[in-house]
Structure 1
Amino acid sequence: MKKSKGTPATILLLLIRGFLTCGGVEIEPSMNPVPTGETLTLSLSPAQNLKSGRWAVGESLILTWLGAQQALFPNYTGRASVDVLTGALRLTSVTVADSGVYVVQSSDPQLSTSTSITVLEPVSNVTLTVNETHLMEFNGSAVMTCSISSGSSATFLWLNGSSEVKASDRIQLSDGNSTLTIVNVTRYDQGPFRCHVSNPVSNSSSDAVNFTITYGPDNMVLTVNGLNTTSFVVGSNLTMLCSAQSSPAAQLHWAFRGETLNVTGSLLHLLHATEEQSGPYSCLAFNNHTNMFNNFTTNIDITKSPLSGSEQQAANVFLLLLLLLAGLISSFPDMSGPFSL
């Protein structure tokens, strides 16, 4: 039986792997990972004085040298060179295909050492697209897709304003996190949303996208004269203010005792209020985009004013005078006796 012969490259790789690493000698890259198009220099540390040697990546030979003479293999012509004194390798215009394990081997002095190099294509042209930007709260889903024109080993990160968007019951991340889906959007999902893409050699962000989300009316509030009370005296001037959370802004109408008033807007004024104007006042809200209604009712109590403190004191003094006068009259002698006229 004939023995199969290994290829020269395989034999070379086995020979290289057969050398013991020279104690303490390491390959020091000028950068790692390396962006495509850059120049990579692989130096030996500590520096060595090598009279001969060879460089390879994986099973591919790059070059060999002996003294001042060096020979490049075809795939590296015009891109690779070696410092024949120190053995440092210089590789220009690197591509993703230049990633791999680089091995330097020398027999004078004897050494073999290696390092792993990664070449990455920088991220460029980050683009964010959406299915639609006008949605109704709890009744639609926002789908955002992030894409890049170039970039290797890219990582996708989503931001809502300055906060990172993370997966939850309503938020789905798919396609390697390049697609973000928000199910049953809420008013807090308006954005701005951005997609940030990065790899170890670069990063870039998309333009921001905002959503218009219609909602409401809800969370209604009705105040009178800006106070917490609803009790007032006859003759008071009252200003009722109604508000509702709504997008777009809700149309507001007013009603008194269930009857619609000819008043629209957020304010209702009562000038010189009377007792007859006591009762329930309602603010009615309508959103013509969501077709939703809401209302808020408060009961206003308008009563006659009691005596003030000074008025009450004067009344007490008057009553006391009346009592004193009655006492004086009762103390006079009976004028119906014999000496009466």
Structure 2
Amino acid sequence: MEKKGEGTFSIILLALIQGILASGAVEVHPSINPAKVGDTVNLSLSPSVVMKSGNWAVGDSVILSWVGDQQAVFPSHNGRASVNVVTGALTLSSVTVADSGVYVVQSTDPQLKANVSITVLETVSNVTIRVSPQTNLMEFNGSAVLTCAVSSGSSLSFLWMNDSAVVTASDRVQLTDGNSTLTIVNVTRYDQGPFTCHAFNLVSNGTSDPVNFTITYGPDNMALTVNGQNTTSFSPGSNLTMLCSAQSNPPAVLQWVVRGALVNTTGPLLELISVSKEQSGPYSCLAFNNHTNMNSSITTNIVIGDLSSGSEQQEVSVWLLPLLLLFGLF
């Protein structure tokens, strides 16, 4: 009797060991992971196993079961799930986001259990940017909020671009709501764009149309050149072409002041033909932006031959500039 009991125990122990070995040796391999909504996903076993019966479940919910060549599909997956009754491979068609989860296959002949996690994602479509409050702003005096939205897409990540540069968070730049919202505080002229939003997940991506801002600024960073040279000393009889520039949006109105007197010449160019010594002195370019209501000026002292009074004239001119800007020019 003892030998019979020992034999029975050995058979049971052997069956348990075989079951453990089978479970550890078999893995489930998905044909696609992650998958897109609408894809067909095959879950095959490796190495291949001949199973006489078993069942598939997702989480705690059974999908189907089979015995021999007969299979039964539960209503939740009717028409979308089938099993290869020999290999135990599961086929899921027209998958949805709700099909994401852990899929478990079990069998008692042979005894095994294996699982795999599947992710199904919705593809990205129609990426757009909403802007608040407007796209017309003044430098250092306005903020912009850009929100990225999609018509479809799941498990999304967002990346913002300003022209070809990636937008990152800073003292003035905030990225919130999973990076889907971009806030720019106290906009500058370098925030004009174009801004685009790139939305993506593991199976798809999409990019919005560009958004540009019109930012008024300046005038500032003025420059004044004479005949394209660095020198300001010229011989009598020379022809002089003065070029004035200022960074400004919209472009600044430019006016000239010659030796303290406003002249009837506007625009970036002032031309003097065959100059004489008497034309030595300070030459100023005044700039005004009628959108920002800001002004700026730049002065250079021109010497034609030898003129000792140039320094005094420049001081008078510089002293007069604020009054000209305030009362006599615009």
Structure 2 letter corresponding to 1:65: W
| Alignment partners' CA distance in 1, 2:175 and 2:105 | 44
SS in 1 for 2:126: coil
Offset of residue 169 of structure 1: 0.1
SS in 1 for 2:24: coil
CA RMSD of aligned residues (A): 1.3
Q: Percent identity?
A: 69
The within-5 A match list for 1:233-244 is 233-244=235-246
Moved more, 20-29 or 289-298: 20-29
| Alignment partners' CA distance in 1, 2:156 and 2:237 | 72
> 2:40 is matched with which residue?
39
Offset of residue 258 of structure 1: 1.6
| Alignment partners' CA distance in 1, 2:113 and 2:28 | 10
| Alignment partners' CA distance in 2, 1:99 and 1:187 | 46
Tell me which structure has the larger Cα radius of gyration. 1
Structure 2 letter corresponding to 1:133: T
In structure 2, which of residues 246, 264, 281 is the aligned counterpart of residue 262 of structure 1?
264
Moved over 2 A (4+): 19-24
SS in 1 for 2:175: strand
Moved more, 142-151 or 226-235: 142-151
CA offset digits 1:149-192 (Å, max 9, x no partner) = 22211111111112111110000111221111100111110101
CA offset digits 1:251-309 (Å, max 9, x no partner) = 111001221011111111111101100000000111111111110000000016xxxxx
The within-5 A match list for 1:27-176 is 27-131=28-132, 132-176=134-178
The within-5 A match list for 1:178-197 is 178-197=180-199
Structure 2 letter corresponding to 1:287: N
| Alignment partners' CA distance in 2, 1:98 and 1:267 | 71
Structure 2 letter corresponding to 1:61: V
| Alignment partners' CA distance in 1, 2:139 and 2:159 | 25
The within-5 A match list for 1:2-41 is 20=20, 22-41=23-42
The within-5 A match list for 1:217-232 is 217-232=219-234
Name the count of aligned residue pairs.
287
> 1:211 is matched with which residue?
213
SS in 2 for 1:42: strand
SS in 2 for 1:22: helix
| Alignment partners' CA distance in 2, 1:163 and 1:97 | 37
| Alignment partners' CA distance in 1, 2:207 and 2:228 | 46
Q: What TM-score, normalized to structure 2?
A: 0.85
Q: What TM-score, normalized to structure 1?
A: 0.82
